[in-house]
Amino acid sequence: MKNRIISIIVASLTLCALLCACTGNSTNVPADTGTTVNQPDTKPTETEPTETEPAETEPEAEPESMTCGNWTVDVPAGYEFKIGDTFDENDTRYFSVKKSFFSYFDFKAEGEERIMASYNYNKDTYTNEQKDVSGTFGGIEWTGFQYGDGFGGYGFEAYATIDGEMIRVSSAGFEFDDSITALVLGSLKYTPSEN
């Protein structure tokens, strides 16, 4: 009895698949039978070659330079700039360049001891596909590690000293050698306050 029910289900599914295939957009084209059909002689008409104009594409918008306290960073078009963190939206030690909730660069200028403690904690935590990275962007030398997020994407943590001030970046959705990474990290500048 069980085999009979399975056979009926398989037959029904096969019938449904055939019906779906038959209802698609098809044109009635005679099958190639190997015989020649008499067709009137038609000469192709000569047409002037037409030149196609390249489609106009809008030039990519220039990044906008944004300032947070003593820090300045370029924000690519379509990205959001945010000052502060969860606890204080006006704290200029923290700022972000965000493409989306899952793709961002979070900057933290918390002092060397705190930066290194957070960096080392994250290095011990984000171990999936982890590899050490370093590079220079815009004259700034960054040291860090890249990791896999487990879903085919990447993120990285890195730190640098800029004009005597240390800063850390946590990034999700970008690889360390990505062109957007080079643009954002390479644009970072620190301007000391005038006393």
- Whether residue 67 has pLDDT greater than 70: yes
Pair 118, 168: CB distance under 8 Å: yes
Domain encompassing residue 147: 79-190
At 27 the pLDDT is 46
Q: Is 162 inside any structural domain? A: yes
- The count of domains in the chain is 1
For all residues of the chain together, what is the average pLDDT? 80
Q: Is 71 inside any structural domain? A: no
Q: How confident is the model at residue 45 (pLDDT cuts 50, 70, 90)?
A: low
Q: Is 63 inside any structural domain? A: no
**Strand pairing category for 131-137 and 140-148:** antiparallel
- Whether residue 21 has pLDDT greater than 90: no
Nearest alpha carbon to residue 184 among 101, 109, 84, 77: 77
User: DSSP labels for 118-185?
Assistant: HHHHHHHH--TT-EEEEEEETTEEEEEEEEE-SSS-EEEEEEEEETTEEEEEEEES--TT-HHHHHHH
Q: Is 73 inside any structural domain? A: no
Q: Is the pTM of this model over 0.85?
A: no
pLDDT tens-digit readout, 92-132? 899 999 999 999 999 999 999 999 999 999 999 999 999 99
Question: Which residue type occupies 26?
Answer: S
Percent of all residues in the chain with a pLDDT value above 70, rounded to a whole number: 68
The whole-number average pLDDT for the span 138-153 is: 93
Q: Is 151 inside any structural domain? A: yes
Q: Is 167 inside any structural domain? A: yes
pLDDT tens-digit readout, 83-101? 988 788 888 899 999 999 9
Which has more confidence, 174 or 152?
174
Pair 59, 48: CB distance under 8 Å: no
At 135 the pLDDT is 96
Q: Is 33 inside any structural domain? A: no
Q: Is 52 inside any structural domain? A: no
